[in-house]
Amino acid sequence: DTGVSQDPRHKITKRGQNVTFRCDPISEHNRLYWYRQTLGQGPEFLTYFQNEAQLEKSRLLSDRFSAERPKGSFSTLEIQRTEQGDSAMYLCASSLSGLNEQFFGPGTRLTVL
Amino acid sequence: ILNVEQSPQSLHVQEGDSTNFTCSFPSSNFYALHWYRWETAKSPEALFVMTLNGDEKKKGRISATLNTKEGYSYLYIKGSQPEDSATYLCAFRHGGYQLIWGAGTKLIIKP
């Protein structure tokens, strides 16, 4: 499989619980992006990695959100103490360089009850 | 605040007809403009990355133009087919790492 994969595809959790999502980018891509998308809106940028370095982080990313890419390959996005407003589709993308097209995974749909 | 606007929000087109829609973005600090197609239950798929004013790109029946001085891009679909039904998103890059996305144009092709 040469595409971007994300796990899980769906997550239902209760308010206050922690959740973690995983993204496996295309193997030769050194850039990895996380986005959040809510109904009727385009994706919103959350954060960006070049190899293992987190180079940019949106103001949307509160202290409850953290992302890592420890070995410059897969990445995890953790949300602590989830709130109902966190319910959204979380998309991961990777690219070969900053100018190239980004290849997206299928997303993880989070529902916080 | 940087804003990317897409119009129309949704569009119903008869199969076989051609159509086009618009993406408006800030005209200053332009770096690149991306177009994506997003079908329901699938991942967004890249169509074009455009960087030069006056650029025109084509992929089969789909083409796009770019005007960075006035801050707009048009996406054209010639001879619409049912498989063209999707949401078409544009995203603007101004030199930072992030893409700023429009809300998309939802295209529905009527057989």
Measured torsion, CA atoms of residues A26, A45, B38, A73, in degrees rounded to the nearest 10 = 10
Cβ–Cβ below 8 Å for A107 and B4 = no
pLDDT confidence band for B97 (50 / 70 / 90) = confident
Measured between beta carbons, which residues in chain B are less than 8 angstroms from residue A43? 44, 89, 91, 99, 101
DSSP class of A43? -
Cβ–Cβ below 8 Å for A45 and B99 = yes
Question: Of A4, A43, A101, which is closest to B101 when you measure between CB atoms?
Answer: A43
Measured between beta carbons, which residues in chain B are less than 8 angstroms from residue A45? 98-100
CA A51, A54, A57, A61 torsion-angle sign:
positive
Average pLDDT over residues A62-80: 93
Beta bridge partners of A11: A110
Give the integer Cα–Cα distance in Å for B90 and B62. Answer: 14
pLDDT exceeds 80 at position A15: yes
Distance from CA of A97 to the nearest CA of B (A): 10
Asked if the C-beta of A107 comes within 8 angstroms of chain B's C-beta atoms, the answer is yes
* Residue bearing tokens 């959100």: A65
DSSP class of A102? P
- CA-nearest of B111, B64, B67, B81 to B18 is B81
Mind listing the pLDDT tens digit for each residue in B78-96? 999 999 999 999 999 887 7
Distance from CA of A104 to the nearest CA of B (A): 6
Average pLDDT over residues A73-89: 96
Choice among A57-61, A72-76, B72-76, B98-102 with the minimum mean pLDDT: A57-61
- CA-nearest of A49, A1, A23 to A106 is A23
Cβ–Cβ below 8 Å for B89 and A4 = no
Asked if the C-beta of A104 comes within 8 angstroms of chain B's C-beta atoms, the answer is yes
pLDDT exceeds 70 at position A62: yes
What separation in angstroms does the CA of A113 have from each of A12, A64, A108, B10, B106? 7, 17, 16, 30, 29
Give the integer Cα–Cα distance in Å for B100 and B8. Answer: 18
Q: What's the pLDDT at A101?
A: 86
A55: left (phi over 0), alpha (psi -120 to 50) or beta: alpha
pLDDT confidence band for B1 (50 / 70 / 90) = low
Give the integer Cα–Cα distance in Å for B34 and B99. Answer: 9
Peptide bond before B26: cis, by omega within 30 degrees of 0? no
